[in-house]
């Protein structure tokens, strides 16, 4: 893309610029010249290969002696008719199959000059009679440049230099600063200069190795890939890159130089790039017309890009750009007469609404006007794009295998930066130079960009905002550019009242352009910082830094492009990870340096990647590292606190999962609790997690964000507790830190510290999270001891209690508890149990009793977590205990009065029914066990199979009933009707009738029948002894009571009759006193009820028709009277009934007989006398009644003896 201008060592200046009409080579002769004579047949003077940069499908050029060039291709189908596949470009895999002539280009024209002299050696003019046809003796073609040695003039030889011309034609008048796009593929510039002697050989002067290495590194994956694979040296590849044109390479390539060997000596030529010509225009203070002509030829955008190159001193040349040249270049880039102004383009207005014939013109489609920015913006875009092009879409890292080649997909090899250190340094310097220039203009408020951007920066509303920026931009357009801007606005020639209303004002267009330029400046700065970071990584060996990365992270690193590193969130994250690895490597155990050493460079040269928060984070990490190796406890604690204070300033920037683990190792749990809470607040500053009015998905997202922070604290508790089943990222595999096993006391101490710190937080959501964690870990005691005031609402919420019915410590009346609440899980039971324990701990016994009652009566949906019957009874028992402790102790319930007694009675009744249920269940289970044990022994008269089948069915029914009894509490009616009666549990039936205070008619047969069935059942199982035992056990439970529950007469008569019958038949030996003593035990030792029962039976002749039965009753009465006397004596003397019987059976001393009071003596003696008479009246032989008679008499005499009283 050379302009075709050159300097022969010491000669400089403009040379022939061929305009558009000369580019087709149609006019070869000057006006008035004669037609050239026919020449001999042309011969080939030079054959040169074409690189892929010059052409994708032309591979060879041959120069003829008449100046024509013949282009050949090795593709089978070439020329303009070649297929797309054929135009794929030359590669190393392509093997030439033919050599085909594609087209021939005519020789370059001669005799055409722009009228400008070339330094001090002007072109040698040709006479009118001289032949203008070229006579080429030697030629040289390289990198798009053709050098011919012409000997067509007899007096002197000349050099003809032909190269591509990338300049543009001058814009039409009236559109200054704008460009017209045209095809420049075939346009060439031709220059000639005299040559002493004849040219023998031409060679390129290769660039310096450092420059070649930089260019090779930057463009190896783009333009020089084929040359690198073909074995061409980097210096030669750099020369070949010049075929791309000067416009796209002049910022990175030096001026091209060649050396020409002739018969008279050697001459060096230096080709001026367009930017070199522009620099000379500024140095020589050329007239403005030349500068305008330069902008017109190259276009405002390209010329502005070159002005920026000079102003920011981006070019590499022999001479340094002076400050004066740089300032003139900057002013030219900002001159609206050269670069234009942002405007609207594409919109057309209706010129008239009527036609020539008087009709109505319906108009035409009006295209929407679009903003077109000035050449200053276009130039900045071009300059920035050419700088960033070699790296933008290519990966920043590659994997080098053992052979030194790069393979992005290889799992083996080492990770290195794709660019060399020198290339990244050169590119970074150019980025920074251009950005510094733009920033300086912004601070100085020079030009449109500097004024508008600087004004926006000072007002705090850069480019977007308020009236001050808009008014400033408008004033800038009017005052700085004056009438020129008005001329641009009226360039359409229309009258003001007929102009189309524009969608953007000039000030708005200016602000839009400045905003775009400011974005480019930010991109340049960010790109420079990215390059510096890559250099820093390369200095410390990328392979070592990333050796700790996993496979996924390494793959992401090698696939990330420079574009992603600069502009994407993923790139920023990866850069942060690389900086972290660099810090670990730099401040690691090898002590390569401190955080301050490396941070100073990062903070200065890439602040967007390494912010102030990063510096504080790594300083904190360094403090933690020092604390970990310190043996001084005080120093360790101070370092940990300093790290905590640093991290407390940047909670949102730290990876707390790793950092808090470090604090755990140091046992600094204040940071473990406070840092995650601070980060949770930063992540949700508006408290959306608590806002029920926002979108549910957003709220859940914020809750999840907060819970990630809370989990760090929960993880510390788990490790202290020893539960490592929940491991989070970054946690070690051991529950203890640093390999030191903590004792139980230390664990408890640190757990208490964490809980206390957690409860102090005002975060309610965190309280709920930490409460659940403590419950899951079995740390209920710590929870109840240190729980905050929101613990009760939390527990109530967990069991789904309505808020209006929630129990609180400040209520004055007990809330109604639903005894039929259905719980879903064992967690809810656990929460209820904790609530009861909390109330007990706070001495709120009334509330605790209510919660325990609810626990006892709870039911479950699935039944898997339901408590057994024994546990329910235990809950009821505890509830009764709490109800007993209510009076005078419970602060909340002390004013309830009779409600306390009602609760106590209610709980006692439920506990009694539950105990009945337990008894029934145990009885049924015992029956099942007995049946299973006797399953193999069938009853006589039944077949074995039938007996087993019947027992099996009965066992199944009984097991199902026992399971029902274990699942839930039942009412006393259910227990009686559905379980006790069907399974003939008469003893429990009687106890339930007594508990229910059965008040049926005394003549009712229910109780009597139940007693009869119970006694018969006992008799069948163990005779009179078993029946008396049952009577003692059951009677003592139901006594005292009315006659309906304990019918003494019925029981006494039934047992006495049965005892006499069994004794008479010899089935069982029954003592005379067994039944009487059983009745006394049933009445809990009360003699008078038993004695009255016997009196009623003896006085009823209709009942006692048998004298023998009456005699047996009298024996029982004798036993009752003796028992009465012994019990009274034992009570007065403080001895047992057995000791009293020994005394009563012997002689009484005055002191002993005085113990019995007069009333009891009179009753006993009167009864003894009366019963002696009854014995005498019996129609029985004396030998049968003598013993009974003597017993009454002895008892009477012993009580009436003078020694007795």
Beta carbons of 1204 and 1148 less than 8 angstroms apart? yes
pLDDT at position 348 over 80 = no
More confident residue, 587 or 463: 587
Sheet with 44-49, strands from edge to edge, namely 44-49, 60-64, 69-73, 100-105
Burial (0-12, 13-18, 19+ Cβ within 10 Å), 622: buried
Residues 6+ apart with CB under 8 A from 166: 1, 2, 3, 184, 187, 245, 246, 247, 274, 298
Give tens-digit pLDDT for 663-697. 999 999 999 999 999 999 999 999 899 888 889 99
Measured in degrees and rounded to the nearest 5, phi and psi for residue 117 equal -80, 155
Lowest-confidence region among 217-231, 781-795, 1065-1079: 217-231
Say how many residues make up the chain. 1205
Which range is most confident: 101-105, 529-533, 1030-1034? 529-533
Name 195's bridge partners. 157
pLDDT at position 1155 over 80 = no
Q: What is the pLDDT of residue 800?
A: 66
Q: What is the pLDDT of residue 968?
A: 85
Q: Distance from first CA to last CA of the chain, Å, rounded?
A: 152
Name 859's bridge partners. 822
Closest by Cα among 894, 897, 906 to 849? 906
Q: What is the pLDDT of residue 807?
A: 36
Tokens of 903: 């609760």
What is residue 653's DSSP assignment?
T
Helices (H), strands (E): how many in the chain? 44, 18
Give tens-digit pLDDT for 943-966. 556 656 667 888 888 888 888 888
Report the pLDDT averaged over residues 183-195: 74
DSSP assignment of 443-471 equals HHT-HHHHHHHHHHHHHT-TTT--HHHHH
Cα(310)–Cα(330) distance, rounded to whole angstroms? Answer: 8
pLDDT at position 352 over 90 = no
Burial (0-12, 13-18, 19+ Cβ within 10 Å), 1119: buried
Report the pLDDT averaged over residues 797-809: 50
Count other C-beta atoms under 10 Å from residue 289's C-beta.
8
Q: pLDDT confidence of 817, banded at 50, 70, 90?
A: very low
Q: What is the pLDDT of residue 810?
A: 34
Q: Which residue has the tokens 């339901």?
A: 866
1084 — alpha (psi -120 to 50), left (phi > 0) or beta? left
State pTM to two decimals: 0.64
Q: pLDDT confidence of 132, banded at 50, 70, 90?
A: low
Closest by Cα among 1010, 1111, 1103 to 1049? 1103
Rg of the chain over Cα atoms, rounded to whole angstroms, equals 58
Burial (0-12, 13-18, 19+ Cβ within 10 Å), 93: exposed
Give tens-digit pLDDT for 7-34. 443 333 333 333 333 444 433 444 434 4
Report the pLDDT averaged over residues 693-711: 92
pLDDT at position 725 over 90 = no
Cis peptide before 1040 (omega within 30 of 0): yes
**CA angle (161 as vertex; 160, 167 as ends), nearest 5:** 135
pLDDT at position 91 over 50 = no
Q: pLDDT confidence of 526, banded at 50, 70, 90?
A: very high
Report the pLDDT averaged over residues 387-397: 91
Describe the chain by its helix, strand, coil percentages, rounded to 5.
55, 10, 35
**CA angle (888 as vertex; 885, 894 as ends), nearest 5:** 100
Give tens-digit pLDDT for 200-246. 888 888 888 888 788 877 887 775 555 555 556 766 777 777 777 78
Beta carbons of 728 and 715 less than 8 angstroms apart? yes
> H-helix or E-strand containing 595?
helix 595-605
Name 139's bridge partners. 148
Closest by Cα among 310, 333, 337, 331 to 321? 310
Query: Burial letters for 566-605: b for 16+ Cβ neighbours within 10 Å, e otherwise?
Result: bbeeebeebbbebbbbbbebbbeeeeeeebeebbeebeeb
Lowest-confidence region among 149-153, 640-644, 973-977, 1136-1140: 1136-1140
Mapping DSSP onto H, E and C, the string for 1128-1151 reads HHHHHHCCCHHHHHHHHHCCCCHH
Q: What is the pLDDT of residue 113?
A: 44
CB-facing half-sphere around the CA of 1136: CA atoms within 13 A? 3
Q: What is the pLDDT of residue 998?
A: 67
pLDDT at position 903 over 60 = yes
Report the pLDDT averaged over residues 104-127: 53
Beta carbons of 187 and 384 less than 8 angstroms apart? no
Closest by Cα among 529, 572, 282, 552 to 427? 529
Question: 975 by DSSP, 3-state: which?
Answer: helix
**CA angle (289 as vertex; 284, 294 as ends), nearest 5:** 80
Name 141's bridge partners. 146
Beta carbons of 888 and 859 less than 8 angstroms apart? no
Name 150's bridge partners. 136, 158
pLDDT at position 1047 over 50 = yes
Cα(614)–Cα(599) distance, rounded to whole angstroms? Answer: 9
Report the pLDDT averaged over residues 1023-1039: 85
More confident residue, 834 or 1200: 834
Closest by Cα among 328, 327, 229 to 285? 328
Q: What is the pLDDT of residue 1049?
A: 83
Q: What is the pLDDT of residue 1201?
A: 66
Give tens-digit pLDDT for 1093-1116. 888 888 876 677 788 888 888 888
Q: pLDDT confidence of 67, banded at 50, 70, 90?
A: confident
Query: What is the rounded average pLDDT for all residues in the chain?
Result: 76
Q: What is the pLDDT of residue 1150?
A: 44
Report the pLDDT averaged over residues 528-543: 89
What is residue 587's DSSP assignment?
T
Query: Burial letters for 101-119: b for 16+ Cβ neighbours within 10 Å, e otherwise?
Result: ebeebebbbbbbbeeeebe
Q: What is the pLDDT of residue 405?
A: 52
Give tens-digit pLDDT for 741-773. 788 899 999 999 999 999 999 999 999 999 999
Q: pLDDT confidence of 717, banded at 50, 70, 90?
A: very high
Q: What is the pLDDT of residue 713?
A: 94
């Amino acid at each position: 893309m050379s302009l075709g201008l050159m300097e022969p060592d010491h000669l400089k200046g403009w040379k022939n610029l061929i305009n558009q009409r000369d580019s087709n080579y149609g006019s070869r002769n000057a006006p008035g010249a004669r037609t050239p004579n026919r020449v001999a047949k042309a011969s080939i003077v030079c054959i040169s290969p074409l690189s892929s940069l010059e052409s994708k499908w032309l591979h060879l050029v041959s120069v003829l002696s008449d100046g024509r060039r013949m282009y050949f291709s090795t593709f089978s189908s070439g020329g303009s008719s070649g297929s797309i596949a054929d135009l794929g470009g030359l590669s190393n895999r392509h093997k030439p199959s033919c050599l085909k002539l594609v087209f021939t280009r005519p020789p370059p024209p001669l005799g055409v000059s722009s009228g400008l002299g070339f330094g001090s050696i002007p072109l040698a003019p040709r006479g009118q009679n001289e032949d203008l046809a070229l006579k080429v003796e030697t030629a040289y073609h390289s990198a798009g440049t053709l050098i011919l040695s012409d000997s067509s003039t007899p007096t002197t030889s000349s050099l003809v230099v032909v190269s591509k011309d990338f300049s543009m034609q001058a814009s039409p008048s009236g559109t200054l600063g704008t460009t017209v796009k045209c095809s420049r593929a075939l346009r060439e510039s031709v220059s000639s200069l005299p040559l002493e002697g004849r040219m023998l050989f031409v060679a390129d002067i290769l660039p310096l190795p450092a420059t070649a290495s930089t260019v090779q590194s930057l463009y190896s994956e783009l333009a020089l890939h084929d040359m690198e694979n073909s074995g061409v040296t980097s210096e030669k590849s750099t020369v070949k890159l010049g075929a791309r044109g000067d416009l796209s390479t002049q910022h990175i390539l030096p001026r091209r130089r060649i050396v020409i060997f002739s018969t008279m000596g050697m001459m060096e030529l230096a080709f001026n790039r367009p930017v070199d010509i522009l620099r000379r225009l500024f140095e020589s203070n050329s007239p403005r017309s030349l500068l305008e002509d330069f902008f017109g030829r190259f276009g405002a955008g390209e010329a502005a890009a070159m002005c920026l190159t000079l102003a920011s001193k981006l070019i590499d040349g022999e001479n340094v750009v002076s400050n004066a040249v740089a300032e003139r270049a900057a002013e030219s880039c900002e001159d609206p007469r050269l670069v234009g102004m942002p405007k609207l383009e594409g919109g057309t207005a209706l010129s008239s609404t009527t036609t020539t014939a008087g009709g109505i013109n319906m108009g035409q489609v009006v295209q929407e006007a679009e903003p077109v920015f000035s050449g200053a913006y276009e130039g900045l875009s071009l300059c920035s794009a050419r700088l960033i092009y070699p790296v933008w879409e290519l990966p920043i890292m590659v994997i080098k295998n053992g052979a030194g080649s790069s393979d992005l997909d290889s799992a083996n090899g080492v990770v290195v930066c794709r660019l060399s250190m020198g290339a990244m340094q050169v590119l970074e310097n150019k980025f920074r130079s251009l950005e510094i220039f733009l920033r300086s203009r912004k601070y100085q408020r020079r030009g449109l960009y500097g004024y508008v951007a600087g004004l926006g920066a000072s007002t705090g509303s850069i480019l977007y905002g308020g009236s001050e920026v808009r008014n400033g931009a408008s004033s800038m357009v009017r005052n700085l550019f004056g009438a020129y801007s008005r001329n641009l606005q009226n360039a359409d020639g229309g009258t003001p009242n007929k102009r189309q209303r524009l969608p953007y004002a000039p000030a708005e267009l200016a602000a839009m352009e400045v905003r775009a330029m400011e974005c480019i400046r930010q991109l340049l700065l960010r790109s420079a910082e990215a390059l510096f970071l890559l250099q820093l990584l390369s200095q410390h060996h990328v392979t070592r830094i990333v050796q700790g990365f996993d496979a996924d992270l390494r793959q992401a690193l090698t696939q990330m492009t420079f574009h992603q590193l600069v502009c994407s969130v993923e790139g920023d994250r990866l850069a942060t990870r690389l900086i972290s690895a660099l810090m670990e490597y730099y401040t690691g155990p090898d002590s390569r340096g401190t955080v301050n050493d490396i941070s100073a460079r990062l903070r200065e040269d890439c602040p967007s990647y390494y912010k102030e928060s990063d510096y504080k984070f790594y300083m904190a990490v360094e403090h933690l590292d020092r604390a970990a190796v310190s043996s001084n406890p005080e120093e360790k604690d101070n370092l940990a606190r300093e790290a905590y204070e640093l991290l407390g300033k940047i909670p949102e920037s730290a990876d707390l999962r790793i950092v808090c683990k470090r604090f755990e190792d140091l046992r600094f749990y204040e940071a473990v609790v406070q840092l995650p809470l601070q980060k949770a607040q930063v992540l949700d500053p508006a408290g959306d997690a608590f806002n029920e009015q926002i979108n549910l998905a957003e709220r859940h997202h914020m809750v999840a964000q907060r819970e990630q922070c809370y989990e760090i604290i929960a993880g510390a508790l788990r490790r202290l507790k020893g539960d490592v089943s929940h491991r989070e990222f970054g946690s070690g595999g051991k529950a203890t830190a640093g390999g030191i096993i903590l004792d139980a006391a230390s664990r408890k101490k640190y757990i208490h510290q964490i809980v206390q710190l957690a409860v102090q937080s005002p975060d309610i959501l965190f309280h709920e999270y930490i409460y659940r964690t403590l419950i899951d870990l079995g740390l209920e005691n710590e929870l109840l001891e240190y729980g905050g005031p929101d613990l009760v609402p939390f527990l109530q919420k967990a069991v789904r209690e309505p808020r209006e019915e929630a129990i609180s410590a400040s209520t004055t009346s007990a809330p109604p508890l639903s005894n039929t609440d259905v719980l879903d899980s064992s967690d809810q039971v656990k929460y209820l149990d904790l609530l009861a324990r909390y109330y007990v701990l706070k001495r709120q016994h009334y509330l605790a009793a209510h919660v325990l009652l609810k626990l006892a009566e709870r039911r479950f949906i699935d039944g898997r977590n339901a408590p057994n019957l024994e546990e329910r009874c235990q809950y009821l028992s505890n509830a009764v205990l709490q109800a007993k402790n209510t009076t005078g102790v419970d602060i909340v319930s002390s004013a309830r009065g009779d409600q306390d007694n009602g609760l106590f009675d209610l709980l006692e009744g439920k506990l009694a029914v539950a105990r009945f249920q337990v008894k029934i269940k145990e009885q049924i289970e015992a029956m099942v066990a007995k049946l299973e044990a006797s399953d193999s022994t069938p009853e006589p008269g039944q077949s074995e199979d039938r007996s087993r089948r019947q027992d099996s069915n009965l066992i199944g029914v009984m097991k199902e009933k026992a399971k029902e009894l274990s699942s839930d509490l039942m009412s006393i009616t259910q227990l009686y009707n559905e379980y006790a009666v069907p399974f003939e549990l008469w003893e429990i039936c009687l106890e339930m009738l007594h508990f229910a205070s059965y008040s049926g008619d005394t003549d009712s047969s229910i109780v009597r029948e139940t007693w009869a069935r119970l006694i018969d059942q006992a008799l069948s199982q163990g005779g009179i002894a078993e029946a008396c035992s049952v009577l003692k056990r059951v009677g003592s439970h139901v006594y005292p009571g009315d006659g309906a529950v304990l019918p003494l007469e019925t029981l006494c008569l039934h047992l006495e009759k049965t005892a006499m019958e069994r004794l008479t038949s010899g089935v069982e030996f029954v003592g005379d006193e067994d039944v009487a003593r059983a009745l006394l035990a049933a009445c809990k030792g009360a003699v008078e009820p038993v004695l009255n029962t016997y009196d009623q039976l003896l006085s009823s002749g209709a009942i006692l028709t048998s004298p023998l039965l009456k005699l047996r009753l009298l024996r029982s009465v004798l036993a009752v009277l003796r028992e009465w006397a012994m019990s009274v004596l034992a009570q007065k003397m403080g001895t047992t009934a057995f000791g009293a019987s020994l005394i009563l059976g012997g002689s009484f001393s005055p002191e002993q007989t005085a113990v019995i009071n007069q009333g009891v003596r009179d009753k006993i003696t009167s009864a003894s006398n009366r019963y002696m008479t009854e014995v005498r009246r019996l129609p029985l032989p004396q030998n049968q009644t003598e013993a009974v008679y003597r017993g009454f008499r002895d008892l009477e005499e012993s009580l009436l003896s003078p020694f007795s009283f």
